[in-house]
Amino acid sequence: MDSVNRRDFLTRLTLATATVSLPQYAFSFNGRADEFITTDTTHGKLRGIRKDGVNLFRGIPYGGRISGDRRFRRPAPLEPWTGVRDALEFGAPAIQPPRRNEPAPSEDCLFLNVWTPANDNRKRPVMFYSHGGGFVIGSGASGGQDGSNLARNFDVVVVETNHRLGLLGFLYLDEVAGVDYAGSGNMGMLDIVDGLKWVHDNIARFGGDPSNVMIWGESGGGAKTSCLYAMPSAAPYFNKASIESGPGVRMTSKETAAETTAMLLRELNIAPKDWRKLLDIPASELLVMQGKLPFAPPFQEKNNRKSLMERRAGGFSPVVDGTVLPHNPFDPTAPAISRNKPLLVGWNEDEFTFFAWERKDTEFAKLTFETLPKRLEAQFGEDTPKIIDTYRKANPNATAPDIFIAVSSITMMGLGSVDIAEKKVKQGGAPVYLYNFGYKSEKLIPGTDYPMGTPHAMDISFKFNNEIPPRDGSAPKESFFGGNRPERFTASHHFAELWTTFARTGKPAAKDVPAWPAFNLKSRPTMRIDANCEVINNRFSDELAMWRTIGRL
């Protein structure tokens, strides 16, 4: 396998959600409810279930039809219904390969799910989560992100949406299809905004406060959150945000998006003037074509080496179209529109071990300091010796595999997170809080003696407080990524309490956790989240100084 780099970052991101969608994390309604709960919404009555002290409403429609003549456009109006509509099962996810323990994917996928302690008008903080999957897979029912424990244990309301993905969500047609398709390159993001509007109009009936909404997301969901933070249409509907292991500094330019559209039309033998033929192709065939297009890696050339999320032609992600997304989310500056909205941002210490596990890469664990340079040179070229020297001096006890993991992880997620934090501070508005998740799983990467540590996506079950002992008192089962050690329960509680307190107050805090100072450019405090949390000042200072010197930060 070639040296890992951000060249395939976004495509590997797409697997993060799928790989943790395992049977033990499937939350469909397959047993008796304690009772059924009925509530009003703007479009009709819903029936959900109360289970173990939490009210759950699944598969709530928040937008109308997006198939047929609505493909690549804003949804048809959502039609009110009469009687009581069941909200007992998850709604269809966006078009993608079939998802375990979920309904079949469908082009009409605008559904959301709500977890709340009670429908009692208590004005709890609302945590509006965008799933991972790198803009091409995932759903609001993805494994590990069940909101029951957050709602039950921390008295918050959790909301998660399905929304358009991939070609159907981000195909840029503005330049060939005319005014009716304005914003087509951002339909998936505008769907999420519609979900936020639904929250504004309805969440009070679910015990939530529409004036206290936090947007958050991991991996591709972090990049979606980055975009929402910069979108005028989203601005009225949230007042704080968290970007987790998915720093969306830059998105796709109009020029690159137009190249992708032209490439797609050529592959389908459709002339630009006949673009309407796209409306007649079955969604399943478009999904196949999406997979045939060349992958669109982020820029990594010598003349543009910064670790920023931007794609070449061939992939699908939000488009900086000047209107829906007026500019890159965090380049050249933090978005002025969210100047007064507090922000959390950070990454997992060992992001790359997820990708080694997913690819069955065992060779990295055999690296020596003689073979390490060759492994890194494909990505870093002539800078490789300086990078290795800096990391060895800063981490004198590290092995060659340790250095490889550290370098790969920080270039995937860390440099962009630091870039966002620095730009937010320079803006001089609301505070930003920088973190590293560091709880170490003892599970070994198959075929190696190297532990998972803190891989990409492991934070999902931790921050949702889904790493807890069984409620029935039985022996805990091994966590898929988190391992067997009971300390994981404490780390999960810390993570969840920090995030829910931030949702409630705009300042992260938790019992038995040190006070978390806002990030600044002098002491640069970073919260390391673990069973024992600590604030570390000027963390990775030598490494970050080196990354700046070689032009990657």
- The residues assigned a catalytic role are 219
Pairwise CA distance, residues 170 & 262, whole Å: 14
Tokens of 367: 């690296």
The answer to whether 508 and 433 are in contact (CB under 8 A) is: yes
Short-list 218, 219, 243, CA closest to 230: 243
Query: DSSP secondary-structure letter at 410?
Result: I
Pairwise CA distance, residues 406 & 448, whole Å: 17
Q: Are strands 252-253 and 432-437 parallel, antiparallel or unpaired?
A: unpaired
The answer to whether 51 and 34 are in contact (CB under 8 A) is: yes
Residues 6 or more apart whose Cβ sits within 8 Å of residue 70: 64, 76
3-state secondary structure of 174: helix
Q: Left (φ > 0), alpha (ψ -120 to 50) or beta: where does 119 sit? A: beta
Pairwise CA distance, residues 83 & 449, whole Å: 59
Calculate the dihedral angle through the C-alpha atoms of 325, 326, 327, 328, rounding to the nearest 10 degrees.
-10
Q: How many residues does the chain have?
A: 553
Inter-axis angle of helices 9-19 and 220-228, to 10 degrees?
110
Compute the Cα dihedral for 423, 426, 432, 438 and give only its sign: positive
Q: Are strands 240-244 and 208-218 parallel, antiparallel or unpaired?
A: parallel
- Burial class of residue 486 in the structure, from the number of CB atoms within 10 Å of its CB (0-12 exposed, 13-18 middle, 19+ buried): exposed
Pairwise CA distance, residues 75 & 401, whole Å: 49
Strand partners, 61: 111
Give the CA distances from residue 15 to residues 131, 142, 345, in Å, rounded to whole numbers and listed in that order.
Answer: 12, 12, 21
Per the omega criterion (within 30 degrees of 0), is the bond before 525 cis?
no
Cα radius of gyration (the chain): 22
Residues 6 or more apart whose Cβ sits within 8 Å of residue 389: none
3-state secondary structure of 88: coil
Query: DSSP secondary-structure letter at 170?
Result: H
